[in-house]
Amino acid sequence: MRKALTIGLLVLTPFCQAQYIGGTGGGGATNCMASFAMLPVELLHFSAMPHGGQVQLQWATASELNNAGFHVERSSDGVRFEAIAEVEGMGTTPMLTNYAAEDRAPLHGLSYYRLRQTDLDGTVTWSEAVAMIMSTIRTAAYPNPVRSVLTVQGPWANEDRSVDLFDAQGRSVRQATLRAGANEIDMAGLPAGLYRLRISWAQGAETLSVMKE
């Protein structure tokens, strides 16, 4: 039996973070605690956004009644969906709750996401599907391991991209702007170890691992 989800106003509260499942069904889920009240489940919003080569999924409920939980479902055609993440619901609560999950292995090109919400009695509700385009990015960083100069080359041609190099402590130690073609990043003088190279543009970001000798 399907039922409609109510739309309301969004107020920011701390996230209840989901555990990524990575495939269909099963897996762990998160637990959230709150006070109890007899109110219907009200979905405020559901969104999917590219972030660092992954897809960040966020949604919120204004209140929940007997909410067993959610499955995030993904589709390549908007017709056939599979579950990729699962989040435990709050049961019954009058509190606004924000949820988040990640698709760590998104499909390339156009894909669709939706929520499947299940009550404790087994009643199932689906949200509207949201569409998103994930670009295929193939950036090369060489040599790796590197001693002094790292060359970064990607398929972009019509827009500049920014790059940040982070050390093992998460500190940004180099910044640059990448142009079309090959770009050089001077790593001479940096301590040996593992670094993360984050390349950002208007529609997303990509992260590569680089070893400094």
Domain boundary among 107, 134, 161: 134
31-35, 41-45, 188-192: which range is least confident on average?
Answer: 31-35
Q: Is 1 part of any domain?
A: no
Q: Is the pLDDT of residue 136 over 60?
A: no
Q: Is 127 part of any domain?
A: yes
pLDDT on residue 40: 63
User: Containing domain of residue 145, as a range?
Assistant: 140-212
* Angstrom distance (rounded) from CA 19 to CA 17: 7
Q: Is 2 part of any domain?
A: no
Q: Is 8 part of any domain?
A: no
Q: How do strand 124-126 and strand 109-119 relate by DSSP bridges?
A: antiparallel
**Structure-model confidence comparison of residues 108 and 120, the more confident one:** 120
Domain of 39, CATH number, reads: 2.60.40.10
- 144 neighbors 213 (Cβ within 8 angstroms): no
Query: How many domains is the chain partitioned into structurally?
Result: 2
pLDDT on residue 207: 83
Backbone angles phi, psi at 106, to 5 degrees: -70, 160
Pair (96, 51) in one structural domain: yes
- 42 neighbors 98 (Cβ within 8 angstroms): no
Pair (103, 164) in one structural domain: no
- E strand map for the chain: 15-17, 19-20, 43-51, 54-61, 64-75, 82-93, 97-103, 109-119, 124-126, 130-134, 140-142, 149-153, 161-166, 172-178, 182-186, 193-201, 204-212
pTM of the predicted model, to two decimals? Answer: 0.51
Q: Is the pLDDT of residue 9 over 70?
A: no
pLDDT confidence tier of residue 30, bands split at 50, 70 and 90: very low
Q: Is 6 part of any domain?
A: no
Pair (120, 152) in one structural domain: no
Pair (116, 156) in one structural domain: no
**Structure-model confidence comparison of residues 143 and 16, the more confident one:** 143
Q: Is the pLDDT of residue 112 over 50?
A: yes
For the segment 165-207, what is each residue's pLDDT rounded down to a tens digit? Answer: 999 889 999 998 888 778 899 999 899 999 999 888 776 777 8
For the segment 140-157, what is each residue's pLDDT rounded down to a tens digit? Answer: 888 888 889 998 887 766
Pair (104, 52) in one structural domain: yes
pLDDT mean over 115-135: 88
